[in-house]
Amino acid sequence: MPYLDTPEGQPDDKVAWGSDVAAQMLRLCGFKYAALNPGASYRGLHDSLVNHLGNRDPGMLLCLHEDHVVGIAHGYAKATDQPMAAIVHSNVGLMHAHMGIFNAYCDRVPMMIVGATGPVDAHQRRPWIDWIHTSADQAGIVRDIIKFDNLPTSAEAIVDAMAKANIATRTEPCAPVYIVLDAGLQEQSLDKVPALPDMSRFQPPAAPRAQKADIDRAAAMLKAAKRPLLLYGRGSRSQAEWDARVQLAETLGACVMTDLKNGAMFPTDHPAHVIEPFNQPGKDILDLIAEADLVIAFEWVDLNGSISPPKGSNFSGKVISVGLDHHLHNGAHMVYQGTAPTDLLISASPASVVDDLNATLGKTKKEPWRAAIRKPFKPGDGSRIRMQDVAQALRENVPDPDKISFAALARQWPCDQWPWRDPGAYMGKDGGGGIGSGPSLSVGVALANADMGRPTVTVLGDGDFVMGNHALWTAVRHKIPLLVLINNNQSYFNDELHQEGVAKRRNRPVGNRWIGLAMDKPYVDIAKLAEAQGATGIGPIKTLADLPDAIRKGVDVMMKGGVCVIDIHVPPGTERNTNSTGLRNT
């Protein structure tokens, strides 16, 4: 269990202040933890959490930046399918948290963000500071990337707003919600305590199911297909839903693809899983998709980019798309991706459609219609460290490889070498592509896994880690075990590939691609950055001979409840080239 501070004395259990009502609602909503970075705008709520609730349910997790507050809640939701409370200070804290909220919105995770403003009553404001930390429409800063917001103006309204927000964030498709607490209302003594709700009467609805006609039509199309391909996108951490996805693939004799942007959705060493999970569909992926005569996509993040990419595709089969994501689409951000051509569009929970198809089709077991493409481990020549070598060293030094939960993985991670065999094996990417989020997301995943007794490993790039490394302080402070492996190429290397592609297209010097991107002179000492947060820092590891011992030490730290960061120099290999970035059509 993570460490939480214990207040002196007994909690004052009398609900006497406006902020006590908000604290009670956080507890009634079922939040075990509240990540926060402190601020005077919610000093009333802070006191209520400590001296009224006793810093339990929720317990405070102190963070060093609001982006980490939201990132930890995001990672926790990825691992549990449950929202966590994230508390941010006034307008300035919300602006700090903005990118993290965007990531969570793009990743469709539940989260209760609690902020504060004001006092709304201008006569209560302290000179200068309360004025600059008060906004007329504070939620407007993030309204296009949240599902619901409210600024309650009475204790009774706090109850209603937080009950409604709790329902909204837990209803599929999930997304963050934001409650703004008036600083004046928080510190107002109560003449009358509002009735607190029976939360069993304020629960989210079941996800919508498909019409029987749509299920029957989809089943008929699948039975008629000779080469069905299942694209499993966003989904839950439920083992039952995992098993149902496997059953559907086996019944159809289908092939399956999954995506690194999402968590583990299907056993990657199953014969039906036709190729390693991928980030962007390259030529090999597109060629495999083109072999199918029917694609059924379950909340696939970018269906159009997979079947109708800008450079064209040879796919000519039927398409069924299943999901609820369209309910969140708006014109503010292009998160909705391109509009895919479909022969049947089913607006329903993917999990329920899988269940209904299984009930309609029955249970049989057929071989997939094509053999899977596998990349077994091959020893290198020892001249450089590869991600395959890192995976091999880790696999040889953890007590049970199948118990490891990966919070994040580098693109070059060899999934065939380390198969995912359950829903908690891998948690997916950051949702919005916001660099610097990896450390906080990983801490959130590790927090959830600590409660479940499961070890957490994360593989981050050096640029991502350097930008967000102080999120690890929270893991150390609250005794959340985590092993961080840094895939260090000493550059913002993905952008080097972009610059190389542009230079080639313009017939300009490719050799200048590193300028403004190489992270050297001085070298960023990642191990010392880790040590500055109280973690164990190891490295830099530059040779294959030094790798096993470093991994062994790091695993030992993690298994004993600590946080360890290993800086591993992994020079970019031939697998990363300008084809992985792609040039825009101009």
User: Are 335 and 105 in contact, with CB atoms under 8 Å apart?
Assistant: yes
Tell me the pLDDT tens digit for each residue of 481-494. 999 999 999 888 88
Confidence check: pLDDT of 574 > 70:
no
Looking at residue 77, its pLDDT comes to: 99
* Radius of gyration in angstroms for the set of CA atoms belonging to the chain, rounded to a whole number: 25
Q: What is the mean pLDDT of residues 567-579?
A: 72
Indicate the angle between helix axes 90-107 and 66-80, nearest 10 degrees.
30
Give kind and range of the element (H or E) at residue 295: strand 294-298
One-letter-per-residue 3-state SS of 361-415: HCCCCCCCCCCCCCCCCCCCCCCCCCHHHHHHHHHCCCCCHHHCEEEECCCCCCC
Looking at residue 309, its pLDDT comes to: 86
Give kind and range of the element (H or E) at residue 416: none
Tell me the pLDDT tens digit for each residue of 408-466. 999 889 999 999 999 999 999 999 998 999 999 999 999 999 999 999 999 999 999 99
Same CATH fold assignment for domains 212-361 and 387-580? yes
Closest CA to 532 of 73, 97, 64, 39: 64
- Mean pLDDT rounded to a whole number for the chain: 96
* CATH pick for 18-201 out of 2.60.120.260, 3.40.50.1370, 3.40.50.970, 3.40.50.620: 3.40.50.970
Both tokens assigned to 100? 């993290």
Tell me the pLDDT tens digit for each residue of 331-370. 999 999 999 999 999 999 999 999 999 999 999 999 999 9
* CATH pick for 387-580 out of 3.40.50.970, 2.60.40.10, 3.40.50.300, 3.30.70.330: 3.40.50.970
Tell me the pLDDT tens digit for each residue of 258-302. 999 999 999 999 999 999 999 989 999 999 999 999 999 999 999
Looking at residue 304, its pLDDT comes to: 95
Confidence check: pLDDT of 249 > 70:
yes
Closest CA to 30 of 165, 197, 199: 199
The predicted model scores a pTM of 0.96
Closest CA to 398 of 553, 293, 285, 511: 553
The domains of the chain are located at 18-201, 212-361, 387-580
Peptide bond into 119 cis (omega under 30): yes
Confidence of residue 380 (pLDDT cuts 50, 70, 90): confident
Q: Does domain 212-361 have CATH number 3.40.50.1220?
A: yes
